[in-house]
Structure 1
Amino acid sequence: MKPVRTWLVLLFLVLACWGLGQTLLGIGDGGLAREVECAGTNLGWDGEETPSPMGPEDRCHLESNDEYRTYEEQRDVQRAARRSVATGTRPLGAGLLGLSVLLLPQRLRGMAAKLKHRA
């Protein structure tokens, strides 16, 4: 029974790590922003730098790869990131729930045994 339990712990651990990575990547890409935010320089309709959030006529200049995105393109990128956050939280939750079901009873038994020896 021990090898099966070990494999299940590893499976749930990998699932939780994958979900955490997916969630963090989505958060890093702006998946939690309520408004359309530019990750680079936000340029207004006149080409001048303007503060965030982006407006419908603004463009976003990303310095990392010298790319320009329109308001709609940046909104779509953030929507995809939001989906990534939602997709990642499911395996993260399932992995953590599985690990707690497998590991918590053993931990509680160990704590109960220590309390019994003290009394």
Structure 2
Amino acid sequence: MRLALVAALCSLAITNAADDLARTPPMGWNSWNKFGCDVSEKLMKEMADAVVASGMKDAGYQYLVIDDCWQVRRDAEGRIVPDPDRFPSGMKALADYVHGKGLKFGLYSDAGTG
């Protein structure tokens, strides 16, 4: 009897753990696949608008990610500096815009120093 009770409790724990798993993979849009290095603030705002207007957000897409080429260099402290010509309002303003659409904003980076 004890063995049956332990087995029942273990199967319940396994079932509950499975409920916590993602039902889909992380769903989002990444600039690299279509635009490579041709990214800008204007483009990313248009893409955020398109993700919402096309129904992708309602279908479960959550992320809007800028891949490479948004930066121009690193500053004296090693922080990546956004390209001010392509992103004139800065990354915070762009992130705020994306978040305002109900999406999550991501930026490609690396651990390098050069």
Do they fold alike, i.e. is TM over 0.5? Answer: no
TM-score after normalising by structure 1: 0.31
Structure with greater strand percent: 2
* Bigger CA radius of gyration: 1
With a CA cutoff of 8 Å and minimum separation of 6, indicate the structure with the bigger relative contact order: 1
Structure with greater helix percent: 1
